Amino acid sequence: MKKHAFLITSAFSAMLLLAACNSTETPTPTEEEETAGTVNETNNTQNGAAEGEDTTADTGTEETNESTNTIEYVENGQPKKAETVTTVSPQQDYTISLAKGFSLEAEEPGRDMVMYDANNEHSMRIELFAKDETTYEEAALQTENTVKITAPEGKYEPYALDSLLTTHKDITNANGYVVTYTEDKDQVVTVVFEKGTKIVRLTVFDTTTAEMTDAFLQMGFTIE
């Protein structure tokens, strides 16, 4: 309400100012003054053109620098390749390369979600940890404890990352865990890794029939 009131007040003040300006009588210029003004305007125009002044109007359009790359992944046992676009997190300090058909959105403070646009049952949560607040070892232990607590009857298995990490040499440490819910074929894969100055945790919500986990993780490993 305060903002709206400020805008209305400002607009009303501008209208009053405009009306006052229009009501002010301006002396009619003499013929000599008009001639002098025309000559000055012509000279200014010529000088500006001679000096190479840019008279193009500023449209206010801001350019966006988007870099395109590709990722390779496996879906339902078939190798695939997809072009990606570098995307900036809406609230955290990182960028990620997203394939077409996926979008990034804020979930809650400190958490983002990569959504599969065609079916939001498939998604990946992204969490970042500051190295001045925790270590990779602490983050990995906390991640495994969380998986153990949330898994049915505490049952979970390690998730193999060897093939994934062969194309991501900049990842120095990584651990993964998988929990399968056999009754509805849901699958949750949680991966924590260290890359440069960042410690990242990815949680992929997938199904055993869709098998989109590899695509999500390949995108997640591009986080910078």
Across the range 39-52, mean pLDDT stands at 45
> What's the whole-model pTM score?
0.69
Higher confidence at residue 162 or residue 138?
A: 138
Q: Which of 111, 44, 114 is nearest to 85 (CA)?
A: 114
In contact, 92 and 109? CB cutoff 8 Å: no
d(CA 213, CA 188): 9
Residue type (1 letter), 179 = V
Mean pLDDT of the residues in the chain: 77
d(CA 185, CA 81): 26
Looking at the domain that runs over 68-220, which CATH code has it been given? 2.60.120
Task: Spell out a b/e string for 34-49, using b for 16 or more CB atoms within 10 Å of the CB, else e.
Answer: eeeeeeeeeeeeeeee
In contact, 196 and 170? CB cutoff 8 Å: yes
210 has pLDDT over 60: yes
Ranked by mean pLDDT, which of 10-24, 47-61, 74-88, 189-203 comes out on top?
A: 189-203
Residue type (1 letter), 80 = K
Q: What is the CA radius of gyration of the chain?
A: 30
CB within 8 A of 70, min separation 6: which ones? Answer: 81, 82, 83, 84
Higher confidence at residue 193 or residue 36?
A: 193
3-state secondary structure string across the chain: CHHHHHHHHHHHHHHHHHHHHHHCCCCCCCHHHHHHHHHHHHHHHHHHHHCCCCCCCCCCCCCCCCCEEEEEEEECCEEEEEEEEEEECCCCCCEEEEECCEEEEEEECCEEEEEECCCCCCEEEEEEECCCCCCHHHHHHHHHHHHHHHCHHHCCEECCCHHHHCCCCCEEEEEEEEEEECCCCEEEEEEEEEECCEEEEEEEEEECCCCCHHHHHHHHCCCC
Mind listing the pLDDT tens digit for each residue in 93-139? 999 999 999 999 999 999 999 999 999 899 999 999 988 889 999 99
CA angle 141/142/143 to nearest 5° reads 90
Across the range 68-92, mean pLDDT stands at 89
